[in-house]
A = this chain, B = another copy of it.
Amino acid sequence: MKDPALYLIPVTLGDTPTEQVIPPYNIRVASRLKYFIVENVRSARRFLKKCNPETDIDAITFCELNKHTDKSRIADYLSPLKAGESIGILSEAGCPAVADPGAAAVAIAQQEGYRVVPLAGPSSMLMAIMASGFNGQSFTFHGYLPVDADERAKKLKQLEAKAYADDQTQIFIETPYRNMKLAEEILQHCKPQTRLCIAVNISCDDESVVTRSMKAWKNRLPDMHKKPAVFLIYRG
């Protein structure tokens, strides 16, 4: 048998059925693990039940790792590895350790020399790049932009300039209830010919990934209030 490992297990985006976005192998791995580090215990339980209704959730130990977690406790979360037990990491949506706090646990596992195994699955960020039609050979993911309006305007102009100067796709996200505001600001601050891809609710029933110039988006923004969205900017 192989050494115990820290498995990075992607979860569904929204209410998507597992069979749509999760490979069968992941379900087998997730169903046999007894230890999980999770961004949110409630959503993690729901995902594991969705993967396998037979799973005895009460026999599983969950450690919560999110922005409220005391970082000094993370090393303890990995103690099952020392005892020869594998651990799974689950994000609230999509791939762990991308745009979520899971990377801190992975960094410690790498430092301690444990085996780290990433599993395939849905990533709204990556799926948005694929469907945007923008440069997939050079791109930057920026996470969230500054909240302050002036700083945000400055950042948007910087990213747009970079898209042209480096021929590089610029990707960012927003807290879903602020999506409409961000979209309006993008249209306001970027050049009319610059292209914007808006990817909303990827892999869900009302999924939409549409690329248009800023000019063509004017007065045609989709309803994305409180819906997970990814924004991508590229030269026109």
Chain A residues with a Cβ under 8 A of chain B: 8, 10, 19-25, 95-100, 102-103, 106-111, 116-123, 126-144, 168, 197, 202-203, 207, 209-212
Copies in the complex: 2
If A21-B25, A25-B20, A97-B130 touch, whether A202 touches B118 (CB-CB below 8 Å) is yes
17 more contacts with CB within 8 A, not counting A8-B131, A97-B136, A120-B123, are A8-B127, A10-B120, A19-B23, A21-B23, A21-B120, A98-B130, A103-B135, A103-B137, A106-B133, A110-B132, A117-B131, A118-B130, A119-B127, A123-B123, A138-B141, A140-B140, A140-B141
CB contact between A118 and one of B22, B131, B211 (< 8 Å): that residue:
B131
CB A226 to nearest CB in B, in angstroms, measures: 22
CB contact between A138 and one of B116, B130, B142, B209 (< 8 Å): that residue:
B142
Q: List 7 A-B contacts (CB under 8 A).
A: A8-B130, A19-B25, A20-B24, A97-B129, A118-B130, A118-B131, A138-B143
Identify the closest chain B residue to A144 (Cβ): B137
CB A205 to nearest CB in B, in angstroms, measures: 10
Identify the closest chain B residue to A203 (Cβ): B120
| Contact between chains at A126 and B98 (CB < 8 Å) | yes
Docked complex Cα distance between A110 and B131 (Å): 8
- Report chain B residues within 8 Å CB of A207: 117
